[in-house]
Structure 1
């Protein structure tokens, strides 16, 4: 991708803090149309924004959305689900729901829109997390670790078609999902700016903050070195 000017963008999870910012900045950077997708789309006071019903965990819903938005050239897989609970003793339904939304969902959306993206030589953005590389966050971290691996494989599969696949990784960001977290937070504006810059510069990954860069750099250490609870 050389820029967003003239592009048609699909943003999943468009009602949330990051999603709204993806929509706003895409238009600011020259996108001609943005499909603002959500399970219950909101109204937007802008003719360039098209609300789209989309449940990323429902294959039929994804297929309908792809049929209704055949002109998409950039897909932003931003929709996400976070539910507390461990993998061993937590609710198994919550585990499955997070994996279906955060991992299977982006895969379903990418598969459905791949024909259009190949024709356009467009782009896919997968919004993951610093928790892709940190244990201790239950199924959410598992789903984001899976998305990291899936993003790398999808990138290789689409490389010969000229489709850019960008993995976006970020720490705590000031959105509804991080409500109640007592830690420094990114702003949605800063995160989305970094991601759209990455798209426009043809990058494979964006590490949106210093925490994410630090955790990513630590992956060569031993497990005991990375987790204080195991050091003894």
Structure 2
């Protein structure tokens, strides 16, 4: 009997120790992928500072030098000297002549577009919307083909971008993916997707409109690549005239 009680006591102690260990691990678990990591942000050495318009400043740290380009694994956005965003879950690539890009929103705030390296995939833009001295929203946009230009002759400026590198498949490489060009109008309140123009242009490229997102689930005739390339050249030419 004494031996049985001793064994039961050891089992209870082992269970208690296991629960204690599990509770301790739960309290210190690492953030999920893509989750903002602000702990100790003030202690990160800043290696590059970019002064933007509208009282905004971008600070970058954790530099990785790849000889031909540099990436930063930490970014902090300040608005009028106050931190509104700090993150170490992406690889930021600030070397482009176009980015970081600031689009005023007319309320003292702005949209800040920062290029994120997504190798081996095509880079994309992280959109940080600052309003009333706070981060109001984040979103993901495609990198733009060129600086803004009046692409549809309506008197307003537009940016245009697409999501991915084109691929082809089939015995004769006769099919390609659906990789729409998205058009954004610059408005007094920031960027706005020009839905009608996006539909019209992609209908002309792909034969009909399949939505605003990239897809490999639709077999597009590879001949669409020529039409897409011609539209990209038109966008670049329009931007070059400004």
When normalised by structure 2's length, the TM-score is: 0.27
In terms of fraction of residues, the more strand-rich structure is 2
Larger Rg: 2
When normalised by structure 1's length, the TM-score is: 0.28
Q: Quick one: higher RCO (CA 8 Å, sep 6+), 1 or 2? A: 1
In terms of fraction of residues, the more helix-rich structure is 1
